[in-house]
Amino acid sequence: MKAFKTILGALAVAGLLGFSFNASAQENGNRDENGKIVRGAYHTNKASDNWFIGIGGGLNSYLDKTNGFGKFGPAAEIYVGKWFTPSVGARFGYKGFKNQKIGDIPYSYEKNENKWQYNNAHADLLWNVSNAFSGYKETRFWDFIPYASFATLVHRYESKDFGGDIVNNWEYGAGFGLINDLRLGNHIDLFIDCAMLAVRAEALGKNTDGWFSRVAFNPSLTAGLIFNLNRTGFDRHSSVTPVVVPVPFTTDQYNALKLKVADLEKEKANLMSEIEKLRNTPADTVYVGTEILSPAIVYFNLDKATLTERELAHLDFYVNNVISKNSDHVFTLTGSADKNTGNHEYNQKLSERRVNYVHDILVKKYGIGEEFIVKAEGDTNNKFEPYVLNRCVTIE
């Protein structure tokens, strides 16, 4: 009796410590960005998902009003179950007990020693309180699972006082228990199951004097392995998102936003004006002669390193009428960017992209050869007004 009480006390302490551990250190994977526990909702699992099989063994005893805790005997169990949600599941199984009891002979005041055996078919409703209160986490190491149990059993015992007769009783029982589930891997767990089953006292061979004397208890402590089958986890609905409560703007924040909007509107107006100027810019006039070579300029849009169809037509004209007719001349390509847009380092890189783009067209499309001087001067050579005209590549 003392040993069994010690075991039960150790389980109670482990339960308290484990619940505290689950509520703190292990919950870093099931909280939202605000640190709040997320509990669902979850997709309904398939009929083949989240099944498990358990097998184990341990000790059992008995408890009644007259004799208190009795002797210890072996216990074995095997069961199969399924989790329907992260917190709710069920299992069906078999549990077998063997023991012997020194107690009252039924309907007499004599003592006898009965060896007995239970064959117990039970159905249990499982509740994973770790997932229910701390949020679902598949990788949690320690889960606490209380359950309610309902059983039908055959009590078989040999009575020495009646010449070794074998007596078989069909009984019903109900009880409760606590499973400590320790995760070892994705498909295997270790369990420690502490259970208490209540049956009729007559099932253990005892006189029934008074209401409490009619009930006997069969405590058991078993341990073993759980094998998780097929898919083992649950997926949270993607449509479930944390509720974000809008925070009112302060006066300073509102005024800052108004200024930013005004600046953006002004920049938009300037860009529209530049676009209109570019549309109205007359086409470049190139005079072809045998002694004078006029330079050509192709223009780029804001922050672009590719030419529009219009500027590609200008380049095509210059290639066919100037460059191709002056094969002995070494042309210089100079890339530029306007200094009123972007910083110096960015403009330097932009001018390099523009001049390399034009050079690649001349070489790859027209097959002129690579006898060019290629320069990128960023925003250091701005000489045109308005400044948007400096977004260009000059061919000289």
Q: What is the tens place of the pLDDT at every residue in 140-176?
A: 899 999 999 999 887 776 655 555 566 677 788 899 9
Calculate the CA 180 to chain-centre distance: 24
342 against 332, higher pLDDT:
332
- Architecture in CATH for domain 2-229: Beta Barrel (2.40)
pTM of the model: 0.49
Q: Which residues contact 263 (CB under 8 A, 6 or more apart)?
A: none
Contact by Cβ (8 Å): 271, 278: no
Mean pLDDT, range 348-372, rounded to an integer: 90
- What is residue 105's predicted lDDT score, i.e. its pLDDT? 45
- What is residue 17's predicted lDDT score, i.e. its pLDDT? 43
Q: Tell me, which fold does domain 283-395 have in CATH?
A: 60s Ribosomal Protein L30; Chain: A; (3.30.1330)
Express as a percent the part of the chain with pLDDT over 90: 36
